[in-house]
Structure 1
Amino acid sequence: GRDLSRAIPLPTQKEDECVKETYTDPDLAEYTIKVPPPPVQKPKPPIQRHFVLHTRDSPRPNIPYLSRMLKQKQQEKDDIQIQKFWNMFKQLHLNINLAEALVLMPKYQKMLKALLSNKEKLQELANTPLNENCSAVILKKLPEKLGDPGKFLISCGFIELMCKALANLGASINLTPLSVWKKLGLPDLIPTRMTLELANHAICTPDGITRDVFVPVSKFTFPADFVVVDYESDPRVPLILGRPFLRTTRALIDVYGEEMILRDEDE
């Protein structure tokens, strides 16, 4: 027969502990087969799971009638714009008669309609930046506005004629009409080639120049040269005293106080 010792190795003492079953073959001698024990599974530790609880916010309820709320907000904005425009409109001062207002009404209607339709432009007009002039008006830094003080007249006391003379800073000469020259008996005329342009833009040629005419003003007497022209003058104010006479008299004109001061040396 077969040598089973070579074919099948004999189990050792340590291996015998693992033998669990013995098999017998009828043709062969009885032998044992080592059957390994079933593997022992170590118990796994329980898996620790951490759960995080998330609280979900309660859903916001839908706003009913959303379009109505939008219209209401838009209406509030429109009311604010209308109030601003009304405040601006109340500050306007129109100085025109009824006929002109009726003629201009269609034009203003188009303008107002365009302004109201363009709200952004209206907002720009409402917020107008102030310059120095506007700030001065608002802060009332400007002086009081006054009217025309009128003409500055000088009373002349000639022996032959009591009259007044017009003090004119815009005239470069002293002017007298030919009729006054004859009435006062002034010195002879000196011929001249001078031409004058009057206030009405008329060009005239003087009859001559009379020099060293003594003009009595109150208690003073001042010398002056006059250009004599043949023209119709105001009988109450026939003479015109220009810058040469005002410089001779060292005149100080106080427009605010409506007075003029003439000086003779220290008086």
Structure 2
Amino acid sequence: MKKAGFGNINGQKIYYELFQKSEEAEYLVFLHEGLGSVAQWKNLPEEFSELTSMNVLVYDRSGYGKSSPVPQNYPYDYVRYEAQTILPKLLEQLKIETCHLFGHSDGATIALLFAAYHPQKCLSVISEAAHVIIENMSVEGIRKIRAIYQDKIRKPLQKHHGDKTDWVFYHWSDTWIDPAFKSWNMNIELKQIKCPVLAIQGEDDEYGSPEQLKIIRDLSSAETHLIPSCGHIPHFQKPSEIKKLVMDFFKKTYESNASL
């Protein structure tokens, strides 16, 4: 059963969709990328609800998709704000006490941060193409996309973000290329993660090197996979492989918990 609605958090309306399997089922929450939205996941949340028999929640972050525009004082370090404030309050409103997280790009970064800040709520993390440090290749990749934004990217994004499109794009890109943000990292938070983590990245990811995976593995004891012939969006570029990795990860996680 699919349910859609809005959470009200700090004066903002946060749009969500919930694929409900049963009251007893665990929850899997999808966290979208820096230019993403609920709609841009396409059928993936519903597919994973069927594959895992979990209740699946997917939502538009602050200022994205069908969610309301952000207030003027929306934090610069938005990934930490979303992990510390918006996601836990949305889960509280929906009466979700614990959950698994599946995040892509910015969403994966937020998922890892949430696991560090709220260990009692996070059962596991599937991280795709997370950024845990700022790399020169990430900055250059964003600069390239900024150069073609007006001609090639703005119109397709407007289908998902409407009047908020320019804010979505420039808030995201301005943050990551800001020289003042260059020393940003997640080293402290990664060391605090207690739950199982599956970290995935494409070998040809244009926004991050395999160093991102190495840091996640070394600091959080994550299971990591570098996917050959794959770019920044493994769940669409290598869908069968990603689904198998995720299902194997869940199986190992449950077997490990059962042996305790």
Give the alignment's TM-score, normalised by structure 2. 0.18
- The structure whose Rg is larger is 1
Q: Which has the higher contact order (CA 8 A, sep 6+)?
A: 2
Q: Which has the higher helix share?
A: 2
